[in-house]
């Protein structure tokens, strides 16, 4: 719904300015199915957001409408592979071929590739070997509150 909101670009611009945040540090995630629901309208909004300098990440890729025609037109910087493909990655099924194809497609389009749901060393190794740029998942860290993150960072700063 937010993508269809007529004032979204102004809201993002105002938030960046009021928080003195350079646009390059903001990544907006848009699910593939949301972007493809009304692809022409989404394309207009996403192009305006990209013009602000923010990055656009296509989330849950491979689970929705997967229109390659629109994917090449979207001003995305990043493609996130849905965890559904990662969960059974190392079990000798078609998921490895699908993930390799998504990574190859994304790289050809000049996108960073993010894999969601990485939970095992085997998944991490396979994804790294396939050329995945960024890994997310419980193997690398668990969700935490902002307060807990600040505590961890303050301890790390003291130890450094």
Write out pLDDT tens, residues 59-112: 877 666 556 766 777 888 999 998 888 988 866 678 888 899 989 989 998 999
Residue 58 scores a pLDDT above 90: no
**What are the structural domains, with CATH classification, of the chain?**
8-159 (3.20.20.450)
Give the pLDDT confidence of 109-133 residue by residue, as tens digits: 899 999 999 999 999 999 999 999 9
Mean pLDDT over 122-149 rounds to: 91
3-state SS, the chain, equals CCCCCCCHHHHHHHHHHHCCCCHHHCEEEEEHHHHHHCHHHHHHHHHHHHHHCCEEEEEEECCCCCCHHHHCCCCCCEEEECHHHHCCCCCCCCHHHHHHHHHHHHHHCCCEEEECCCCCHHHHHHHHHHCCCEECCCCCCCCCCHHHHHHHHHHHHHHC
The pTM of the full predicted model, rounded to 2 decimals, is: 0.73
What share of the chain has pLDDT > 90, as a percent? Answer: 41
**Of residues 34, 122, 138, the one with CA closest to residue 83:** 138
């Amino acid at each position: 719904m937010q993508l269809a909101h007529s004032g979204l670009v102004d809201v993002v611009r105002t938030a960046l300015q009021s928080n003195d945040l350079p646009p390059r540090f903001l990544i907006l995630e848009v699910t593939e199915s949301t972007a493809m629901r009304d692809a022409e309208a989404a394309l207009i909004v996403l192009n305006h957001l990209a013009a602000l300098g923010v990055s656009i990440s296509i989330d849950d890729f491979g689970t929705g409408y997967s229109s390659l025609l629109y994917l090449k037109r979207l001003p995305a910087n990043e493609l996130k592979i849905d965890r559904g493909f990662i969960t059974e990655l190392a079990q000798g099924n078609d998921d490895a071929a699908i993930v390799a194809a998504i990574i190859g497609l994304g790289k050809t389009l000049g996108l960073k590739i993010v894999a969601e749901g990485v939970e095992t060393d085997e998944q991490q190794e396979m994804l790294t070997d396939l050329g995945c740029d960024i890994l997310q998942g419980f193997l690398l860290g668990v969700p935490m509150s902002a307060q807990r993150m600040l505590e961890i960072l303050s301890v790390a700063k003291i130890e450094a």
